[in-house]
Amino acid sequence: MKREEIINLIDRLSKEFKNIPVELINKEKERYLEDNRDINTIKSEIIDISGRVKEIESFINKDISKDVLENSIILIGPMGTGKSTISKMLSEDMNIERISLDDRDKLKDLYQYERSFDNFKDFEFKLTGEVLTNLDKPYIIDFGAGHSVYEDQILFFEMKSLIDRFDNVFLIMPSEDKSESLEILNERRNIEKNSSKYFDNKHFVYSPYNEILAKDVIYTKDKSEKDVVLEIKNSIEKGLNNGRSY
């Protein structure tokens, strides 16, 4: 009986989300079918998630101008990769305004709602989505370390659907070797091994989601900041020359 109720509820609610792949819906079914909590708690959570996804889709599917999608530059990556420094240099070099998703002062109208979210990742998604879908002109946007990493597969699918609309998305990493990258970043930020920040950044470095979202990866080891800026600009130019296929 419990099994049938869960399957029927998910099947009924998922009809509203035609863009979400069937395999993700089936994974949600499997997850809840293995859940030992009582059926009313599970059903309440499924309905809550459905409402959350409906709200998410209402704003991430908003129209965004072609100019914004083609000429904005998004920088993603773990803590200490230099996203803020590189974005400031790009902003000055290209005469394009910059937005940092970690800038609580500039984005105070959005950050005021942070405490109203039970799940911080939901807030990060809302923050990121609201910024990207309300751009009135091209910007340089540097993400915080966690704004591009989502363990919730449906949440990540929705974020990927949004990020895929932008032409210039760059992952900034020190090295192709993830263990070396982590070592460099920890030293750069004075992060002690086995501290909470160490494990957070290890998660961000080893997470596959940044590579999935990025249109190009820029490795910064042994490169100056000017070299990195030039490489990003060259990659954009190459994309333009190839009909924006990276």
Give the pLDDT of residue 139.
Answer: 98
Residues pairing with 168 in the sheet? 73
Q: How confident is residue 246, by pLDDT bands cut at 50, 70 and 90?
A: very low
* Paired tokens of 137: 């002109």
Residue 55 has pLDDT above 90, yes or no: no
Measured distance CA(125)–CA(6) in Å, rounded: 26
Nearest to 219 by CA among 207, 231, 233, 205: 231
Please provide the CATH number assigned to the domain covering 66-241. Answer: 3.40.50.300
The alpha carbon dihedral of 65, 132, 129, 154 has a sign of positive
% of the chain surpassing 90 pLDDT: 76
Measured distance CA(29)–CA(115) in Å, rounded: 30
Is 129 strand, coil or helix? helix
Q: What's the pTM?
A: 0.89
Measured distance CA(171)–CA(75) in Å, rounded: 6
| Per-residue pLDDT tens over the stretch 156-170 | 999 999 999 999 999
Measured distance CA(48)–CA(134) in Å, rounded: 26
Q: Can you tell me the mean pLDDT for 178-183?
A: 96
Measured distance CA(56)–CA(133) in Å, rounded: 11
Give the pLDDT of residue 241.
Answer: 67
First to last CA, the chain: 50
Give the pLDDT of residue 244.
Answer: 56
Give the pLDDT of residue 245.
Answer: 47
Query: Taking the domains of the chain in order of start, what are their residue ranges?
Result: 2-60, 66-241
The alpha carbon dihedral of 105, 214, 210, 83 has a sign of negative
